[in-house]
Amino acid sequence: MTDDTTRPPISLSTAARVMMGFTWRADRRLSTTILVLKLVGASIGALFALWIGLLTEAIVHRRPTEAAVLVAGVVISVVVNSMLTFGADRLTQTLSERAHHLVERRLLELVGGTPTLEIQETPEHLTQLERLQDASWEFGEVVPTLINIAQTGIQLVVTLVLLATLDPWLVLLPLFGIPIIVFGPKASQVWYTAQQFAAEPMRRMGVFLDLSTLVGPAKEIRLFRLRDVVRRRFAEAAEESRSIQTRFARKGEMIRVSTRIFFVLGYLGAIVIVTRQVVDGQAPLGHLLTAAVLGGQVLNLIAGSSMLAVWATEVLIAASRFVYLDQLGRRIRAAAAYSADVPARLATGIRIDNLTFGYFGRDRPTLLGLDVLLPAGKTVAIVGDNGAGKSTLIKLLSGMYVPTEGHILIDGTDLARLDPDVWRARVSAGFQDHARFEFIAAETVGIGDLARLDEPEAVADAVHRAAANDVLDALPAGLQTQLGPTWDHGVDLSGGQWQKLAIARAMMRRTPLLLLLDEPTAAIDAESEHRLFESWTEAARDLREQSGAITLLVSHRFSTVRMADLIMVLDGGRITEVGSHDELMRAGGQYAEMFAIQARAYQP
């Protein structure tokens, strides 16, 4: 039962080959050692039935010396096999951890190293990434599972060879295990079906558990006296989930019992064949015991193989998602061709040339035919309703997206020809949806320019230019304060305080070519925003002299926007007006109307 979210994006054989390659690269010596231990252990385990048969013959024919030797051999075989199994399992776990670490490191590199946000923001790719993260535990079991498959195969071959030495017809015994192989996965599928039917009550259980344990709803749970209601509804959902899973579990057990009954018939037939040989004097009594033990081994191997096949499919699907993302990341990087240098300073500015951009799966483009010059050394404000495409344009200018059509020209050079890492080193930004880095406060700001992370003066200057000194004054240890309530002695901040530190982070780079401020003061009051913009204006003058930098501001507050050199109005993904505040007010168009509406809101 597969759908778009469960179907492997890459063939399982390819995934297995790639994962074994990672295992080999993680530790070749350890991989070889485990393989040898598994081979020897599998052979010793499969030969156990033979030793039992020979021991029986020695006892029946009163050969005490031979019996003593065989008993010692059996004991040694059991001990050695146990030691080999234990050692191989421990080494396999170590190898699995190393291989998993190597794969996770590779995953971080490929997702974080792609020049754009294509993986994170394309639903098709994001689905694979999220499913891989959800299956992180299964992903870690790929290596042990593949090794167990190899071990099971070796044991089955040795067991069949021993059965053939007793009677060629006995090699047909595994055929009676076909129902186990065929219907065993169906029994497992019953469990998955139960999980699907029980998904809703289980989800409700999770919701009620979160309501009872998380800090967010804790105040209202107590204030409105909802504790007993939440407990009762949790219990009801738990009972519904248990009932569903019990019903399906009975069905699964019926399938398992039926398939094993069929195998038992074949097993009894094998015992009858060998018993007749022993009774007729055609075979020693030891053969009967050997056949009985080998038959049990076949049942265990077939049943184990069935379950192992189901589990291997699960873990290899997880591995296939990694391989898919790995190949995607390689293709994205290979398709990029960087043939130009980022200028030391802007002379003309950034030309947006007939730019169109559409998100995957949407009917119409978010931005359509934008054509405008952002002059070097100027402060440019972008205004427009929600969904007009303002934040999308910011991401395009920072190189996070690639235009569907058109170009972004940096002093005449297409942004697509510039190495995105080098370009982004000359871009700084404060985003509305900024990250809350729960580091030491100095690091939270300082990571805006890693080269100056350990320079307290640089961090303090960035805080000053972001008008965020009041945040530091409120921290018990100033820049050395641990941020975040989840850490020992960590201090939580208000939304506005976090945002001011994000702005300070954007101010760490002293000579960017482009400073992007995307609703950077959404959580800050209007008066504070005005003071901040005055500070930015001063910083912009410095940047203009040093690098011809462009400051691009997205804001809904027109009292701040009016101070920009150039204002651009976006509506429905198109540029409808461009000009200074005075020019746009005289034009009496959309900007003038929006400004008047907001101005009236502040009048008594």
Tens digits of per-residue pLDDT, 500-527? Answer: 899 899 889 888 899 888 877 665 666 6
Helix/strand/coil (H, E, C) string of 94-125?
A: HHHHHHHHHHHHHHHHHHHHCCCCHHHHCHHH
Alpha-carbon distances of 353 from 14, 422, 424, rounded to whole Å = 43, 22, 20
Residue of 1, 327, 38 lying closest to 192 (CA atoms) = 1
Residue-level pLDDT at 117? 67
Alpha carbons 461 and 463: distance in angstroms, whole number:
5
Residue-level pLDDT at 470? 87
Chain-centroid distance, C-alpha 267? 47
Alpha carbons 426 and 263: distance in angstroms, whole number:
70
Residue-level pLDDT at 487? 84
Residue-level pLDDT at 132? 65
Alpha carbons 604 and 27: distance in angstroms, whole number:
74
* CA dihedral over 263, 264, 269, 275, signed as positive or negative: positive
Residue with tokens 């030391």: 344
Q: Which two tokens stand for residue 282?
A: 């055609």
Q: Which amino acid is at 460?
A: A
Q: φ and ψ at 198, to 5 degrees?
A: -90, 5
Q: Does residue 562 contact residue 596 with C-beta atoms inside 8 Å? A: no
Torsion of CA 247, 253, 255, 261, to 10 degrees: -150
Q: Which two tokens stand for residue 345?
A: 């300073």
Q: Which amino acid is at 501?
A: L
Q: Which two tokens stand for residue 570?
A: 């976006």
Q: Does residue 312 contact residue 145 with C-beta atoms inside 8 Å? A: yes
Q: Does residue 357 contact residue 404 with C-beta atoms inside 8 Å? A: yes
pTM score, whole prediction: 0.60
Question: Could you give the 3-state DSSP secondary structure of residue 410?
Answer: strand
Extract the residue ranges of the chain whose pLDDT is less than 50: 1-5
As beta bridge partners, residue 374 has 350
Q: Does residue 143 contact residue 23 with C-beta atoms inside 8 Å? A: yes
The angle formed by the CA atoms of residues 71, 73 and 76, to the nearest 5 degrees, is: 110
Q: Which two tokens stand for residue 95?
A: 């190898």
Residue of 316, 297, 324, 402 lying closest to 357 (CA atoms) = 402
Tell me the angle at which helices 227-279 and 285-335 cross, rounded to the nearest 10 degrees: 130
Number of alpha helices (DSSP H) and beta strands (DSSP E) in the chain: 23, 10
Secondary element (H or E) of residue 381: strand 379-383
CB-based burial, 295-333: b 16+ in 10 Å, e otherwise: bebbbebbbbbbebbbbbebbbbbbbbbbbbbebbeebe
